[in-house]
Amino acid sequence: MTKNMIMGGLAVFVLAVLSPFWFNMVTTTQAAPEPELLGPAKQAKKCVLDTYDMRTSHMSLLDEWRDAVVRDADRIYVAANGHAFNMSLSTGENSCLGCHEDKAKFCDACHTYTSVDPYCWDCHTNPKEIE
């Protein structure tokens, strides 16, 4: 190994380690999405989980709902705040997307930001798209 090869390799390594820093300098960085409540959700003042749990654990809740509905035909979810909800992602006014009407803002903004690609929409459709 010649000195030049070692120094060249070392330079490549340092650049690779610093890649998160320079990559964001040479590309335009998208800011974090600002969640906001729109339409019916703004008036409702109640949800299936409180805000922090919604942000952290909604996927687990949806997973449980899917099993409850598909396997046990159990369609009513009573939240910790005492309100009953229809266990549905996209059907009817009492579903997730019935209240949070804008899928792009309610689902996609954060999923795209954190590179999450849920397979919900392999089966479900956005009610807005049907009309």
Partner 1 sequence: MTQKYLIPLTAVFLLFLVAYAGAGAGLGWFFGIVFPYLAVIAFLVGFVIKVMGWARSAVPFRIPTTCGQQKSLPWIKQNRIDNPDTASGVFIRMLLEIFLFRSLFRNTKAAFNRNASNRITYSWEIFLWVAALAFHYAFLVVLLRHFRFFTSPVPSCVQFLEALDGIVQLGLPGLFLSGVVLPAAVLFLLARRLFDQKVRYISQGSDYFPLFLILGIAVTGIFMRYFTKVDIVAIKEMTMGLVTLSPTIPDGVASLFYGHLFLVSILFAYFPASKLMHLGGVFLSPTRNMANNTRAKRHVNPWNYDVPIHTYEQYEDHFRDKMIEAGLPVEKKE
Using the rule CB under 8 A, which residue among 10, 38, 76, 84 binds partner 1?
10
Alpha carbons 40 and 94: distance in angstroms, whole number: 10
Cβ nearer to partner 1, comparing 43 with 114: 114
* Of the candidates 80, 85, 115, 83, the residue with the CA atom closest to the CA atom of residue 100: 85
Using the rule CB under 8 A, which residue among 36, 42, 94, 112 binds partner 1?
112
Residue 8 touches partner 1, criterion: CB under 8 A: no
The first and second tokens of residue 107, run together, are: 């689902």
The strand pairing partners of 78, in sequence order, are 84
Question: How many amino acids of this chain bind partner 1 (CB under 8 A)?
Answer: 37
The angle at the Cα of 99, spanning 35 to 36, to the nearest 5 degrees, equals: 15
Cβ nearer to partner 1, comparing 60 with 128: 60
The beta strand positions in the chain, using DSSP E, are: 76-78, 84-86
Alpha carbons 29 and 103: distance in angstroms, whole number: 23
Whether residue 43 contacts residue 99, with contact meaning beta carbons closer than 8 Å, is answered with no
Residue 94 touches partner 1, criterion: CB under 8 A: no
Task: Draw the binding track, 43-82, toward partner 1 (x: CB under 8 A; -: no contact).
Answer: ---------x--xxx-xx-xx-------------------
Q: CB neighbours of 22 closer than 8 A, spacing ≥ 6?
A: 15
Q: Which of residues 13-42 bind partner 1 (CB under 8 A)?
A: 13-14, 17-18, 20-21, 23-24, 27, 29-33
- Applying CB under 8 A, the residues found at the interface with partner 1 are 1, 3, 6-7, 9-10, 13-14, 17-18, 20-21, 23-24, 27, 29-33, 52, 55-57, 59-60, 62-63, 110, 112-119
